[in-house]
Amino acid sequence: MNYLKTKWTSVEKINGWRHYEVRNVHKKNKKLELFSVCDRNNSIMVDLNEIKDKTKWIPGWKEIV
């Protein structure tokens, strides 16, 4: 799967935000660099296995009530 520019919703808020987009894919160490859509300066690194965990991340931008 090509993860670049894909959109994700974090089940738990990270740094105050839920909606993220993949900025960079680090294939060697199997990590994704995501940035918050609401604050583009806020970026995080996520393990490739973690992004596949539906208890932590949901594909697309979803509203969580």
Tell the burial category of 8 from Cβ atoms under 10 Å away from its Cβ (0-12, 13-18, 19+): buried
And the tokens for 5?
Answer: 């520019």
pTM: 0.92
Do 35 and 15 touch, CB atoms closer than 8 A? no
And the tokens for 44?
Answer: 């995080």
Tens place of pLDDT for every residue, the chain, 65 residues?
799 999 999 999 999 999 999 999 999 999 999 999 999 999 999 999 999 999 999 999 999 88
